[in-house]
Amino acid sequence: MYSTLLVRYGEISLKGNNRSYFEDKLLANMRRVLGDLAALRMHKTYGRVFVDLKGIDAEVVAERLKKVFGIVSMSPAVSTPLDLEAIKKAALEVLMESPGTTFKVQAQRPNKRFPLTSPELNQVLGAYLLTHTPNQRVDVHHPDRVVHVEIRDEGAYVYSRIIPGPGGLPVGVTGRALLLISGGIDSPVAGFLGMKRGLELTGLHFYSFPFTSERSKEKVIDLCRVLAGYGGSIRLVIAPFTEIQKAIRRNCPEEFYVTIMRRMMFRIARAVAEREGALALLTGESLGQVASQTLHSMAVINRVVELPVLRPLVAWDKSEIIDLARSIGTYDISIRPYEDCCTLFVPKHPATKPRLERVEAAESKLAVSELLKDCLENLEILTLYPDDLS
């Protein structure tokens, strides 16, 4: 029945002179996820993208577009000419397709040349639907469903269902960030939120074989594949971290293991970000969650980088993070029982308020430049796609 999928975007329409750039990126991202459906055609107008379904099931198209950031909502719609009788018939089709016993009509008329105003359309269509559906009644306050009618220059669109989209900004409009991704719950959620604000991601994972198994790396690869479903392909950089951790354990006080380890990670991340063209680091840190995530620790760790460090989860409770991880499909992967390098090297009594001068003194016993050089010369780089996920 439905000939069109009406796609709404919200925040993009507020971008002024840059709006066309955001709109074009949104359309490009939509085409990416719909690429194999060759019959589809799209065109945009203010606040809307219209997908001409060409006989393809609207549910199939909507399901794919649910992962495209920038889309606020979608509606399968019947498109008609600007003819009142055709609009009436379409409204009846839409009403009968939706379950319930009460309804109201809600018309919008961006095309002011159409002879009826929005209130007049509501009255005419409401009367027509009442006449042709004897078991229905109008309820303008709490209807079972709303028959929406949009009168635009090129035609009319009639629909009832509104399918929520992910919102946010199209991936790619705000630049690239380097996501420090472990195998845990938090960092994939941070990556998701970064993409929701328009970031393209490169992942960076620190791998400590043989202290961590091949399965711990596979877990991170699978997490990146899930994230790729929301933003296209993701490059994952895997950094060998074993020798750095061994050197820290040999040379540094136990209370500073985590702090110095994170400082070394940030140094590596800074170099990888420069290679990848990333303008910021993105982490899954939540304030006060563990020793390295106190404000004192963050301040000391941040001193080794000049790049912005984005922490979208900084004020989130763990339960909130878990809820979002479940909803985006990363939670079950994150809880696989394969530990990452961070969890294996946590001391019994880590410093929660490390002082910079003491950390720097402890760190001076490391051959920092040589350790970084060896790590950066042995990076493994993968490109991951959502359809690789089994």
Q: Which amino acid is at 199?
A: L
180 in a known ligand binding site: yes
**Which string of b and e fits 72-94 if b means at least 16 CB within 10 Å?**
bbbbbbbbbebebebbbbbbbeb
What is the distance, to the nearest Å, from the Cα of residue 242 to the centroid of all Cα atoms in its chain? 32
Grouping H, G, I as helix, E, B as strand and the rest as coil, residue 271 is: helix
Return d(Cα 47, Cα 93) in angstroms, integer: 25
204 in a known ligand binding site: no
Residue 272 CB neighbours (<10 A): 22
Let me know: does 113 contact 77? Beta carbons within 8 Å.
Answer: no
87 in a known ligand binding site: no
Pairing of strands 137-138, 48-52: unpaired
Grouping H, G, I as helix, E, B as strand and the rest as coil, residue 243 is: helix
Return d(Cα 313, Cα 317) in angstroms, integer: 8
206 in a known ligand binding site: yes
335 in a known ligand binding site: no
Q: Is the peptide bond before 81 cis (omega within 30 degrees of 0)?
A: no
262 in a known ligand binding site: yes
Half-sphere exposure of 226 (CA within 13 A, CB side): 23
371 in a known ligand binding site: no
Grouping H, G, I as helix, E, B as strand and the rest as coil, residue 12 is: helix
| Residues contributing to the annotated binding site for ATP | 180-181, 205-206, 262, 284, 293
| Residues contributing to the annotated binding site | 180-181, 205-206, 262, 284, 293
